[in-house]
Copies of this chain bind each other. A is one copy, B any other.
Amino acid sequence: MELARIEELIATHRDGLLKDTVPFWLRHGLDGECGGLLNYLAADGSVLHTDKAVWVQSRFAWLTALLYSEVEQRGEWLDASRSCIEFLERHCFDTDGRMFFEVTRDGRPLRKRRYLFTETFGAIAFSEYARATGDRQRLERAKDLYRLIICYYQNPGLLPPKVFPQTRQMKSHAMPMILLATTQQLRRNGDDPLYERTIQDSLTQVFEHFMRPDLEALLENVGPNGEMLEGPEGRVITPGHAIETSWFIMEEGRHRGDRGLIEKACTILDWSLKWGWDRQFGGILYYVDVEGKPPEQYEHDMKLWWPHTEALYATLLAHHLTGEKRYEEWYERIHEWSYERFPDREHGEWFKYLHRDGTLSSTAKGTRWAGPFHLPRMQLYCWKLLEEMKQSAG
């Protein structure tokens, strides 16, 4: 990549992060009254709903603590992180040690889900807050949560199953993917044999059970030993997920200095871009059927913000690690498509949901699922990576 372009992109991502995304959420989201973050926001930042998604509390605690450690020790960032952490501690844990999924503005529990994702985001929140502050109690809390997740993961009978397991056993790519990412985060506070084992298990699962060289696809759901399942659940690819996994694995390769791991990750990225890129309208499809049959999700052909932010970082990282021109071209293609459509030129931040043809489906800036995570993480990670690239280029 040309030095001038690198410098231009550094400005785009750094300023997008520090002058747009983070201020938008600090200004409109932070709840001065009850603590934590109001996450259901309209285009102009006004509140659409005061219920609080616990994922989002944790993800914002993580982001602001990370900014404090990696960018600058700004008090407002640490205050925001602490507000979310304290809200989580006060209101978001059930008596079984698991976390609620959604609570009221003042922290009364509304929903709890069978999935463990809430706990994984809780673990990275406490871990990153501990790293920013040196708070050993919060670090222990992160590790407790992590061990709880592993315990449930290893003993699936502890959770009520979605599908009767005596009839059909299936597993989702989302679990090894999120365990890999969660473990990588916790490892920043010091390694542990459990981390190594979990990462190795996740990589084995992805490579041996979810990656299908015969289909050139990473499947979202398979049987317990990687068997292809019949029907739309068995045939579905989630390109955004697979692309996210690819850069988690590239980071693992970088961490270990393992070229083979980076190559495998790039294979996943190549496959997923091929499946996900919409040749008719551009952008990345949400779900694709590996046999070209109609996926069952209503939203299958919508263009959501997060597969695009994940693809931006994945392609930039792949370009940096391999030097391959085609990843730079992919980066630029996705950048152009995304920056033409997602940013809100009037109120800042990005819109989250577009129709297949790129027109706006919803004006919301935040929902139960969409909070300050994928966009600012991409902006921070791309910025920092571009700084590395500038060093090498300069």
A367 close to chain B: CB less than 8 A: yes
Query: What is the bound-complex CA distance between A355 and B361, given in angstroms?
Result: 10
Contact between A230 and B50, CB atoms less than 8 A apart: yes
Q: Please tell me if A174 contacts chain B, counting CB pairs below 8 Å.
A: no
Check A298 against B296 for contact (C-beta < 8 Å): no
Contact B167 A110 (CB under 8 A): yes
User: Which among A219-227, A271-279, A299-307, A331-339 touches the partner chain?
Assistant: A299-307
Q: How far is the CA of A166 from the CA of B164 in the complex (A)?
A: 29
State whether the Cβ of A55 lies closer than 8 Å to any Cβ in chain B: no
A40 to B353, CA, bound (A): 28
- Inter-subunit contact B230/A49 (CB<8 Å): yes
- Interface flags for A89-107 (1: CB within 8 Å of B; 0: not) read 0000000000000011000
Q: Which of A111, A166, A353 counts the most chain B CB atoms within 10 A?
A: A111
Q: What residue of chain B has the Cβ atom nearest to residue A302's Cβ?
A: B298
In the bound assembly, the distance between CA atoms of A230 and B219 in angstroms comes to 39
CB contact between A296 and one of B112, B230, B299, B368 (< 8 Å): that residue: B368
- In contact, A167 and B108 (Cβ under 8 angstroms): yes
- Write out the residue numbers on chain B whose beta carbons fall within 8 Å of the beta carbon of A110: 163-164, 167-168
Residue on B nearest A293 in the bound complex, by CB:
B48
Are the CB atoms of A232 and B49 closer together than 8 Å?
yes
The interface on chain A, measured as residues whose beta carbon lies within 8 A of the other chain's beta carbons, has a size of 41
Output the nearest chain B residue to A49 by Cβ-Cβ distance: B231
Bound together, the chains give a CA A104 to CA B230 distance in angstroms of 11
The reply to whether the CB of A294 lies closer than 8 angstroms to some CB of chain B is yes
Partner of A361 from the list B109, B162, B230, B301 (CB cut-off 8 Å) is: B301
| CB of A29 to closest CB in B, whole Å | 16
Q: How far is the CA of A105 from the CA of B81 in the complex (A)?
A: 50
A270 at the interface (CB under 8 A from B): no
B48, A300: Cβ atoms closer than 8 Å: no
* Closest chain B CB from A49 CB (angstroms): 4
Are B111 and A164 closer than 8 Å at their CB atoms?
A: yes
Given A48-B231, A50-B230, A232-B49, answer yes or no on A104-B168 (Cβ-Cβ < 8 Å): yes
In the bound complex, CA of A362 to CA of B49 (Å)? 31
The interface centre, meaning the residue of A301, A356, A361 with most chain B CB atoms within 10 A of its CB, is: A361
B362 and A163 within 8 A (CB):
no
What are 19 of the A-B contact pairs (CB < 8 Å)? A40-B231, A40-B232, A48-B294, A49-B230, A108-B167, A109-B164, A110-B168, A111-B162, A111-B163, A111-B164, A294-B363, A295-B362, A296-B364, A296-B368, A298-B353, A298-B361, A299-B299, A355-B355, A355-B356
Binding site for B on A (CB under 8 A): 40, 42, 48-51, 103-104, 108-112, 162-164, 166-168, 230-232, 293-296, 298-302, 353, 355-357, 361-364, 367-368
Query: Which are the 9 A-B pairs with shortest beta-carbon distances?
Result: A49-B231, A298-B299, A108-B167, A294-B362, A294-B364, A109-B164, A294-B363, A110-B163, A296-B367
Given contacts A48-B293, A111-B162, A356-B361, 15 further A-B contacts (CB under 8 A): A42-B293, A48-B232, A49-B230, A49-B232, A50-B231, A51-B231, A108-B166, A110-B168, A111-B163, A296-B364, A296-B367, A298-B298, A355-B355, A355-B357, A357-B357
